[in-house]
Amino acid sequence: MSRFSQGATIALTIARKDALSELRGRQASGSTLFFAALVLLLFGFALGPDTRRLTDAAPGLLWLAIVFGGLLTVARLHQLEADDGALEQLALYPVDRRAIYLGKALAGTIAMLVLGAILLPVVAILYAIPIGAAWLPLVITVALGAIGFAAVGTAYAGLTVRMRAREVMLPLLMLPIVAPLLLSAVKATAAALGGDPFGEMGAWLQLLAAFDIVMLVAGAATYGFVLED
């Protein structure tokens, strides 16, 4: 087996294990979804019944809900490892640390995609926004955003999972790094929902894709240090 296919097997095995654990621990993932949907509902109450204002704010609110839900998701994916010393055991397997990182980032991406796929229709219903015509660019935006968020989140959740104040440290360290992702994703979502009158969506999606690549490469290169006690 070549090194690449061996690495791919390891990454897929880790992603499958995390996905299985997430599916079986439905209580935790269900409450994350509920929390993110509740954030959207509360923003709706805070902004009032003005449809125009809600439509303008919808892209930003959608991504804030994804970010809040995503923080809980990536933290939980590492908490699974920290329970009962599984993270140390994972670090002791004779496998490439980059494959471990990519496996966990893949699991995080899948969880984020599920979150985005549920929150998009919630936004459409709560804020009365027609998303049918813009579904393809919205799906691409959510996918690129999910990859980037999981890429950063996997590295930082690994870094903070052994800390006592990890619930505080994870957002504190991570949110400044994902600011460019949040900005690009909100702009791309707004352009998609508005019919992209200025032809700017492509540029924002390119920025998102570049962010994803840089963060995946950086995360894979540094995750070995993150795993060391």
Give the interface size with other proteins as a residue count (CB under 8 A).
26
Instruction: Please report how close the Cβ of residue 102 comes to other proteins at its closest, in angstroms.
Output: 14
* Binder of other proteins out of 36, 37, 54, 80 (CB under 8 A): 80
Window contacting other proteins (CB under 8 A); options: 9-17, 37-45, 62-70, 183-191 = 9-17
Decide: is 85 part of the binding site for other proteins (CB under 8 A).
yes
Instruction: Please report how close the Cβ of residue 83 comes to other proteins at its closest, in angstroms.
Output: 7
Window contacting other proteins (CB under 8 A); options: 78-86, 120-128, 193-201, 204-212 = 78-86
CA 42, 33, 177, 227 torsion: positive or negative?
A: positive
Decide: is 50 part of the binding site for other proteins (CB under 8 A).
no
Window contacting other proteins (CB under 8 A); options: 5-13, 138-146, 184-192, 205-213 = 5-13
Decide: is 83 part of the binding site for other proteins (CB under 8 A).
yes
Residue written as tokens 């929390």?
A: 35
Decide: is 52 part of the binding site for other proteins (CB under 8 A).
no
Q: What are the distances in angstroms from CA 207 to CA 63, 66, 165, 187, 199?
A: 16, 19, 32, 11, 14
Decide: is 13 part of the binding site for other proteins (CB under 8 A).
yes
Instruction: Please report how close the Cβ of residue 167 comes to other proteins at its closest, in angstroms.
Output: 21
Shorter beta-carbon distance to other proteins: residue 108 or 116: 108
Shorter beta-carbon distance to other proteins: residue 6 or 51: 6
Q: How far apart are CA 143 and CA 202, in angstroms?
A: 14
Decide: is 92 part of the binding site for other proteins (CB under 8 A).
yes
* Binder of other proteins out of 4, 48, 49, 84 (CB under 8 A): 84
Site residues (CB under 8 A) for other proteins?
A: 1, 6, 9-10, 13, 17, 20-21, 24-25, 80, 83-86, 88-96, 228-229
